[in-house]
């Protein structure tokens, strides 16, 4: 009969006592982070809306003011970003993807709370001067940073699952779309979606969603779309919207990735002088906005909502102009997301397609155009369908949306093999000495030393 080692028995007994407390701390950290990021997302949305309202008010006084304040605003924000928060450049989603692949770098400046909060402030400033940016990418970055902060407070080990949960909750809070947050985590943030991560994501999304619902109320982001399409119309329109949207969206991604890797000689020369680059891009955005009568300023939310609800005027200019303004803003390197502007470009594309199908409801065609282009850019068909279904209450369009999304994903893959966010994330994973600054990202800060990060989880507890 073998004698059991007393020290091993004591160790097991201590571990059995500590496990419930460790689990409680993890749940408390996740819940606290979800509540906090829900509040921050709502505040950010309010500030962004106010910034766009003030910009519109300035236009009423002086329509040509953007020729001055937009390029100067871009230049100032670019200078501030490069001086105080280089990791705040671009969308914010590539930063979270990079940290998910290498969680140790999350403890550097890449996902620090000061960097993320500065990113929110800089994004509001860009909206204040008419930049074509969205709030969703910055919300994802600050959500991940908040999750990291609370896990430090509770002294809980930080894993990639925590970042995934924070990013998913950020998307859910930004659009008021809980299901889309879960889908986004599956398609974009997580390479492998395990059961433990799934529960963490859904818990964070539920808590942040309840906070958003309790404060902002139950609203439909783009308004309610009542129109549907017949089977015959779907068979004709869905492939057209998928092919054109996937090709144009894939072209946007390909341009962004080529620019980030030194694919354009003229852009490489400008990139060595980031403030001048931002000024020129801001001037382009200003000229486009004035030339189109103000269609391209900001996120594009109001114009998109008008098209969805059938109250907008079909001019045909909105899609191409918004594409150009969004591309110029993204190439400038200033902080800001591309989620909402991409949906707006897709709405403009759908508006153009509606001229080819005059007998079908324009709002329904616009919705398919949004799906095709958005999937072409981000290559996340499930996320696109759920976002648009939740933000327009168009459950009757779910099958046409899926058909368009699948076609667009296949076409975009031919045009641009690599996913946009994952390609831009490479800039954050590359060594600082060799990594070039990109429109969507910046070389990572050196990872913090071992003493600054909580100890790793046991092997059977890692996500």
Is the pLDDT at 10 greater than 90? The verdict is: no
Q: Each residue of 327-370: pLDDT tens digit?
A: 999 999 899 888 889 999 999 999 999 999 999 999 999 999 99
Give the Å distances, CA to CA, from 305 to 117, 177, 360, 363.
Answer: 28, 16, 19, 10
Which value, in Å, is the radius of gyration of the alpha carbons in the chain? 22
Is the pLDDT at 214 greater than 50? The verdict is: yes
Give the Å distances, CA to CA, from 300 to 58, 338, 377, 461.
Answer: 17, 11, 17, 43
Which of 321, 313, 312 is closest to 349 using CA atoms?
Answer: 321
Strand, coil or helix: 134: strand
Which of 373, 377, 278, 306 is closest to 70 using CA atoms?
Answer: 278
Name the band, by pLDDT with cuts 50, 70 and 90, for residue 451: very low
Q: State percent of the chain over pLDDT 70.
A: 77
Domain 231-421 carries which CATH code?
1.10.3080.10
* Interior/surface letters 149-177, b for 16+ CB within 10 angstroms, e for the rest: bbbbebebbbbbbbbbbbbbbbbbbbbbb
Q: Give the total residue count for the chain.
A: 463
Torsion (CA) 51, 54, 60, 63 in degrees, nearest 10: -50
User: Tokens 């860009």, residue?
Assistant: 126
Element (H, E) at 126: helix 113-128
**What whole-number distance in Å separates Cα of residue 133 and Cα of residue 151?**
30
Predicted pLDDT of residue 1: 46
Which of 168, 155, 169 is closest to 209 using CA atoms?
Answer: 169
Residues 6+ apart with CB under 8 A from 409: 246, 375, 376, 379, 381
Strand, coil or helix: 265: helix
Longest Cα–Cα distance of the chain, Å, equals 93
**What whole-number distance in Å separates Cα of residue 82 and Cα of residue 274?**
8
Query: Is-contact 384 375, C-beta < 8 A?
Result: yes
Domain boundaries for CATH 1.10.3080.10 within the chain? 27-219, 231-421
Element (H, E) at 54: helix 6-61
pTM, to two decimals: 0.78
Q: How many CB atoms lie within 10 A of CB 249?
A: 30
Average pLDDT over residues 146-163: 82
Pick the CATH number of 27-219 from 1.10.3720.10, 3.90.226.30, 1.10.3080.10, 3.40.50.300: 1.10.3080.10
Is the pLDDT at 202 greater than 70? The verdict is: no
- Encode 316-354 in three state secondary structure: CCHHHHHHHHHHHHHHHCCCCECHHHHHHHHHHHHHHHH
Predicted pLDDT of residue 179: 67
Q: State percent of the chain over pLDDT 90.
A: 36
Chain centre distance of CA 219: 20
Which of 262, 54, 30 is closest to 147 using CA atoms?
Answer: 30
Predicted pLDDT of residue 281: 94
């Amino acid at each position: 009969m073998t004698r059991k080692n007393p020290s091993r028995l004591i160790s097991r007994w201590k571990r059995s006592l500590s496990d419930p407390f460790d689990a409680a701390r993890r749940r408390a950290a996740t819940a606290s982070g979800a509540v906090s990021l829900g509040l921050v997302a709502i505040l950010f949305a309010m500030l962004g809306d106010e910034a766009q309202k003030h910009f519109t008010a300035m236009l009423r006084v002086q329509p040509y003011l953007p020729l001055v304040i937009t390029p100067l605003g871009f230049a100032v924000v670019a200078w501030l970003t490069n001086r105080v928060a280089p990791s705040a450049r671009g969308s914010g989603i590539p930063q979270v993807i990079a940290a998910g692949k290498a969680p140790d770098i999350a403890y550097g400046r890449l996902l620090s709370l000061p960097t993320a909060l500065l990113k929110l402030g800089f994004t509001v400033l860009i909206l204040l001067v008419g930049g074509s940016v969205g709030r969703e990418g910055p919300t994802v970055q600050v959500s991940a940073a908040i999750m990291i902060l609370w896990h430090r407070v509770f002294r809980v080990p930080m894993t990639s699952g925590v970042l995934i949960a924070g990013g998913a909750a950020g998307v859910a809070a930004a659009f008021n779309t809980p299901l889309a947050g879960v889908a986004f985590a599956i398609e974009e943030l997580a390479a492998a979606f395990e059961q433990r991560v799934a529960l963490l994501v859904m818990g964070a999304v539920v808590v942040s969603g309840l906070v958003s619902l309790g404060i902002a109320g139950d609203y439909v982001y783009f308004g309610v779309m009542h129109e549907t399409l017949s089977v015959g119309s779907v068979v004709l329109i869905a492939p057209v919207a998928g092919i054109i949207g996937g090709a144009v969206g894939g072209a946007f991604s390909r341009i962004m990735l080529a620019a980030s890797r030194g694919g354009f000689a003229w852009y490489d020369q400008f990139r060595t002088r980031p403030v001048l680059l931002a000024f020129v891009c801001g001037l382009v955005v200003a000229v486009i906005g004035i030339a189109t009568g103000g269609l391209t300023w900001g996120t594009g939310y109001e114009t998109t909502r008008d098209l969805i609800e059938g109250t907008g005027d079909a001019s045909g200019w909105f899609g191409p102009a918004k594409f150009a303004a969004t591309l110029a803003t993204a190439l400038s390197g200033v902080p800001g997301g591309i989620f909402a502007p991409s949906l707006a470009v897709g709405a403009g594309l759908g508006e153009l397609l509606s001229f080819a199908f005059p007998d079908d409801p324009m709002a329904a065609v616009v919705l398919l155009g949004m799906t095709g282009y958005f999937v072409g850019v981000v290559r996340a068909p499930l996320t696109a369908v759920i976002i648009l279904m939740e933000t327009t209450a168009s459950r009757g369009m779910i099958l046409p949306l899926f058909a368009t999304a699948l076609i667009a994903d296949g076409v975009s893959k031919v045009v641009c093999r690599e996913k946009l966010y994952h390609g831009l994330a490479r800039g954050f994973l590359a060594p600082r000495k060799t990594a070039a600054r990109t429109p969507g990202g910046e070389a990572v800060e050196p990872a913090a030393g071992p003493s600054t990060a909580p100890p790793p989880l046991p092997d059977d507890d890692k996500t």
